[in-house]
Chain A
Amino acid sequence: TQLLEQSPQFLSIQEGENLTVYCNSSSVFSSLQWYRQEPGEGPVLLVTVVTGGEVKKLKRLTFQFGDARKDSSLHITAAQPGDTGLYLCAGAGGTDSWGKLQFGAGTQVVVTP
């Protein structure tokens, strides 16, 4: 079983601050997806990273895939209350066959005004 570890488990910050959450594994993935889940809703895909070393930006969110395709990070600049949610990473295409997604346990982010 491939394990995706996310850190920290919980993060509480003030509006306007920056934050980074991490997703690490000992396994190599062909791609990695980041989702955000708001209270009472299902996870929503934010981005997919495919190439080792790839950096993708989505407004104030910056996603990076590690060179070895074993880890990823999500950086949020000038966080806003609307960024509050559970951030999940999911790796695909590991040794577990047919591209089944392996999810981490998530980082709960709370941004207070």
Chain B
Amino acid sequence: ETGVTQTPRHLVMGMTNKKSLKCEQHLGHNAMYWYKQSAKKPLELMFVYSLEERVENNSVPSRFSPECPNSSHLFLHLHTLQPEDSALYLCASSQDIVNSPLHFGNGTRLTVT
């Protein structure tokens, strides 16, 4: 099993749908992250969890709702999204939240129609 696994790889949803993105890490790391990647823009940090506690919520709209049930799993619940939310959503983990390198999953390509 690879280090950080994300499902699904691709997702198309309407603006009224509810869906969830899943991330699982097999590295024994203590921190997990959600990033949004849009073309030609820097990676945008959305949420950070350290030891299952949320330590960062980077002014993300409430239509994105994270959940971290344990240190190995991270979810991003989506509802009533907008077309501008279409992007690649990357999950990452690190040993801890201070200056540790990130291990990324391969992302979920989200399209909102």
Contacts and interface: CB of A to CB of B under 8 A. Distances in A.
Interface residues on A, range: 20 to 34
A26 interface: no
B66 interface: no
Interface string A84-111: 0000101011000011111111100000
A42 B4 contact: yes
B49 interface: no
Tell me the dominant secondary structure on chain B's binding face: loop
Contacts of B107: 41-42
B57 to A, nearest CB: 13
Contacts, number: 53
B32 interface: no
Interface of B: 4, 40-43, 45, 48, 55-56, 90, 92, 97-107
24 contacts: A9-B40, A33-B101, A33-B102, A35-B104, A41-B107, A42-B90, A43-B43, A43-B90, A43-B102, A43-B104, A45-B101, A45-B103, A90-B102, A92-B99, A98-B98, A99-B97, A100-B97, A101-B45, A101-B102, A102-B42, A103-B43, A105-B41, A105-B42, A106-B42
